[in-house]
Structure 1
Amino acid sequence: MDVLHLNFRVLQYCGIWYEYPENLWLVKMVYKTLIVVMLFCFTLSELTELVLNRNNVHDLTECLFLSLTFLTCCFKMINFLCRQEGLNRILNAYRADVFQPKTTEEKQMTTQYQNLISKFFMVYLIMALLSGICLSLIPIISSASNETQFPAKSYQPYNTQDSTLYLITYFHQILSIFFGIFINVSMDMLVCGFIILACCQLDLCCYRISLNKKDTSTNDHVVHHVLIGHAVNRVQSFFIVIIVLLFIFNLIVLCTSLFQIPQKNIMTLEFFTLFVYLVGILFQVYVYCWFGNQLQLKSKTISDAIYESNWPDLTPCKRKDYIFSMFMSQNGFTISFHGQCSLSIKTYVWIVKTSYAVYNLLQNTST
């Protein structure tokens, strides 16, 4: 995979994505089905437990933060698996010839952005894995002798006191948690990765405009700019519904995590797990909003690059090309849901403020 290879490689290991599905298609289909069924069963058991504990605020908040995370993961998988053609259109957009680096300087610029994507991917994955490892160890370290504990609160329609059933359930939860982590991180950074690549292309476009010679075609730069806009629109069309659901669920998760943390002993593994989980959620939302904000800012720099170029020496026809591009860059590229829930720093601040307000409401309700 030439575009976001790290993300798609992880999704391939998880059975969600295959670049060449026709090879060993039966084995791949069975593996994909097993992973999807496993995660959906785990999520369903968590949601059932959530409904059963709806009258208890403390138990409800304890179930909410993990069940909503996996519910979001299920929505992501449904969107990803049912809209493969849309995803292929996004990939083909980023494979266009005009998007490819032509010179050594452009290759260095592209490499810097690819390294940035890899760094954010690894940081997010490490935080998520650390939280998953802690969740897995909690039943082993703090399990009481007269009751069975699992990494996640979930409903089981059988007696888990039986050692065999307990081990099967425990193993199922461990697998679900770690597969969910890899799929969640890969898909989250897939959105951010496409946005970062769009920022890279905007920098390339500005760089090419700044080097524009009198005898070169300005139409190539305008086409490049237009194709970047088309790629961003395809990313928005494919991911925006999932982004909105993610923000809504993460707002609830932030509230419940803030509510649960003060109730844990600071020296326990439960406190550390919730803290790492909370930091991971904040990091996830921040990365979405930060790079969405960067996309807006960088898309407006096209006008500056044109203004600083040698446009007075160009022919009237070429100036018209640049005027069209400047007009297109005035509003910038924004990823939003019909103008709402846009990826920006303002949205991030709103989510944090709202989650804290709801946290205070939960505190008053529980007292």
Structure 2
Amino acid sequence: MKYLFFVGLWPEKTLTGYQKVFYKIYEFFIHFLTITFLTLAGIGTYQHKDDLVVVFSNLDKCLVVYNFLFKTIIFVIKRDKLRDLIDEIEMSGDEVTEERKKLMANYVVLLTGISAAVVGAFSLLALYEGTMSIEAWLPFDPMESLRNQILSLQILAFCVFPGLCRAFAMQGLVCSMIMYLCDQLIHLQKEMATLDNLTEAEMRMKFKKIIIKHIRLMGYSMKMENIFKEYFLVQNLAVTVELCLNAVMVTVVGVQQITLLITFLAYLIVALINAYVYCYLGNELIIQSQGIALAAYESTWTSWPVDLQKDLLILIGAAQRPLKLSAGGMALLSIETFSQALYNGYSIFAVLNDAVN
């Protein structure tokens, strides 16, 4: 949330009236920078419409920014609901280990560093080769001199990088919330295993707390699905289109332009890693939520009172419907969905390639 605050997506409640106004201006300024980049790149793409390689290269890079922009818009629309959910989680009393907190923070920092390194490396490579990393309209000729080229790269980086940081901040928060749910489900499974050595009164009390917490986590999961379903839909569609576009580019460019091919593959790998992280965590949420039913069944329920056995049966029935996140309500966030997105991207490419041939 600190990262989100710094990139203009999470105004703190402690801000005064004037601070809220300035923060809102700052938020819209970063929106403006992202839209400016897409506008300049769009004009540059149109100016080079006869060069198929330049057009596809620009589309490949702009697709990433469009993906981040649409997810930012969805995040801003759902921000109040998300804030209410986070406040509810914070007041729940659930504990998050220091190790998990460090993992959440390090993930965001590592993701930002890797993406910045990839973008920076290819920008420096373009500078070394005397080309533009992305063709965009500027009020001066970027290729007139080295100074102009450096200035143009700085302008484009200034416009696009805050939007990229916003995407990493959002991804960090979303992944952290999914990891929180998985950790709490694992904690419930461990709590189920400790019911064996308790007195009946203690067991009843602890079992009641387990059921209450399980119901609460189910509510969190449903709220998260409602908040992020459009967000994950954009992510899923972006990966499919990105894969299709890169496959087309490999066939169009050829091995002669090895630098350009490496650029496409590098951006594709980063996009696939980001998508895989979402799907892996979504898959883990399904597995751990189903693990509640297994942990309940493996308890010594045969020696329990009949009323508790009936309650346990209800818990097992509820846990067999796994907690899940979906992409627009159409596909579960899982490893299978990730594989399906890759298959869809290749299928679209194969159809287009056959049509062209």
Same fold (TM over 0.5): yes
Q: Could you tell me which of 311, 325, 332 is aligned with 2:301?
A: 311
**How many residues were matched structurally?**
346
TM-score after normalising by structure 2 = 0.85
Q: Percent sequence identity over matched residues?
A: 18
Between the aligned partners of 2:127 and 2:254, the Cα distance in structure 1 is 17
> Which residue pairs with 2:132 in the alignment?
150
CA distance change for structure 1 residues 211 and 67 in 2, over 3 Å: closer, same or farther?
A: same
State the Cα distance separating 1:362 from its structure 2 match.
5.0
> Which residue pairs with 1:59 in the alignment?
54
Between the aligned partners of 1:254 and 1:127, the Cα distance in structure 2 is 20
Gaps of 5+ in 2: none
> Which residue pairs with 2:232 in the alignment?
243
RMSD in angstroms over aligned alpha carbons? 2.9
Task: Tell me the alpha carbon deviations over residues 211-264 of structure 1, each in whole angstroms, 9 at most, x when there is no partner.
Answer: 233323222111111111111111111111121112112211122223335637
> Which residue pairs with 2:161 in the alignment?
178
Task: Tell me the alpha carbon deviations over residues 192-226 of structure 1, each in whole angstroms, 9 at most, x when there is no partner.
Answer: 22111111110111111222333232221111111
SS at match of 1:300: helix
* 8 A contact 1:219–1:318 mirrored in 2: no
SS at match of 2:80: helix
> Which residue pairs with 1:5 in the alignment?
none
Between the aligned partners of 2:98 and 2:302, the Cα distance in structure 1 is 33
Between the aligned partners of 1:67 and 1:115, the Cα distance in structure 2 is 32
Q: Could you tell me which of 89, 99, 104 is aligned with 1:94?
A: 89
State the Cα distance separating 1:111 from its structure 2 match.
4.1
TM-score after normalising by structure 1 = 0.83
> Which residue pairs with 1:128 in the alignment?
115
> Which residue pairs with 2:183 in the alignment?
200
CA distance change for structure 1 residues 320 and 51 in 2, over 3 Å: closer, same or farther?
A: farther
> Which residue pairs with 1:350 in the alignment?
340
The question of 1:160 aligning with 2:141 is answered yes
> Which residue pairs with 1:277 in the alignment?
267
Gaps of 5+ in 1: 1-7, 102-106, 144-148
* 8 A contact 1:90–1:234 mirrored in 2: yes
Matches within 5 A, 1:1-367: 8-20=1-13, 22-23=15-16, 24-50=19-45, 57-98=52-93, 100-101=94-95, 110-143=97-130, 149-156=131-138, 158-161=139-142, 169-212=152-195, 213=198, 214-216=200-202, 217=205, 218-261=207-250, 263=253, 269-337=259-327, 339-363=329-353
Between the aligned partners of 1:338 and 1:279, the Cα distance in structure 2 is 24
Task: Tell me the alpha carbon deviations over residues 29-57 of structure 1, each in whole angstroms, 9 at most, x when there is no partner.
Answer: 23222212111211233344456666764
CA distance change for structure 1 residues 290 and 346 in 2, over 3 Å: closer, same or farther?
A: same
Between the aligned partners of 1:128 and 1:275, the Cα distance in structure 2 is 13
